[in-house]
Chain A
Amino acid sequence: MELIFYIASAIAVGSTVMVITRYNLIHALLYLVVSFLAIAIVFFVLGAPFVAVLEVIVYAGAIVVLIIFVIMMLNLKAEAVDQERRWLSVEIFIGPAILSVVLLGELGYYILLSGTTGIGMHQVDARAVGMSLYGPYVIGVELSGILLMAGIVGAYHLGRQKKKVVHRFLEKVEE
Chain B
Amino acid sequence: MKEVPLDYGLLLAGILFVLGLISVLIRRNIIFMLISVEIMLNAAGLAFIVAGSRWQQAEGQVMFIFILTMAAAEVSVGLALILQIYHQIKTLDSDAANKMKE
Residues of A participating in the B interface, judged by any CB pair closer than 8 Å:
1-2, 5-6, 9, 12-13, 16-17, 19-20, 25, 28-29, 32, 35-36, 39, 42-43, 45-48, 50-51, 54-55, 58-59, 62-63, 66-67, 70-71, 73-74, 80, 84, 87-88, 92-93, 95-97, 99-101, 103-104, 107-108, 111-112, 114, 116-122, 124, 128-129, 131-133, 137, 140, 144, 147-148, 150-152, 154-159, 161, 166-167, 169-170, 173
- A25-B31, A120-B3, A154-B80 given as contacts; is B9 within 8 A of A104 (CB)? no
- A13-B15, A88-B26, A121-B3 given as contacts; is B79 within 8 A of A50 (CB)? no
A70, chain B: closest CB distance, angstroms: 5
Residues in B whose Cβ lies below 8 Å from that of A17: 19
- A63-B75, A158-B84 given as contacts; is B14 within 8 A of A111 (CB)? yes
Counting from the closest, the 10 A-B pairs by CB-CB distance are A118-B3, A151-B73, A96-B25, A158-B80, A20-B23, A159-B80, A132-B58, A155-B80, A155-B76, A144-B69
Residues of B participating in the A interface, judged by any CB pair closer than 8 Å:
1-12, 14-23, 25-29, 31-32, 34-36, 38-39, 42, 45-46, 49-50, 52-54, 56-62, 64-66, 68-77, 79-84, 86-89, 92-93, 99
**Complex Cα gap A170–B88 (Å):** 8
Contact partner of B19 (CB less than 8 A), chosen from A13, A112, A169, is A13
Contact call B29/A84, Cβ cutoff below 8 A = yes
Contact call B35/A51, Cβ cutoff below 8 A = no
B10, chain A: closest CB distance, angstroms: 5
Contact partner of B61 (CB less than 8 A), chosen from A51, A62, A84, A108, is A51
Contact call B22/A122, Cβ cutoff below 8 A = no
**Complex Cα gap A20–B50 (Å):** 24
Residues in A whose Cβ lies below 8 Å from that of B53: 46-48, 119-122, 124
Contact call B19/A42, Cβ cutoff below 8 A = no
Smallest Cβ-Cβ distance to B84: which chain A residue: A158
Contact call B49/A20, Cβ cutoff below 8 A = no
Residues in B whose Cβ lies below 8 Å from that of A156: 80
Contact call B58/A119, Cβ cutoff below 8 A = no
Residues in B whose Cβ lies below 8 Å from that of A19: 19, 23, 35, 39
Contact partner of A158 (CB less than 8 A), chosen from B5, B22, B26, B81, is B81
Contact call B62/A129, Cβ cutoff below 8 A = yes
Contact partner of A107 (CB less than 8 A), chosen from B18, B25, B60, B62, is B18
Contact call A9/B22, Cβ cutoff below 8 A = no
B1, chain A: closest CB distance, angstroms: 5
Residues in A whose Cβ lies below 8 Å from that of B64: 48, 51, 54
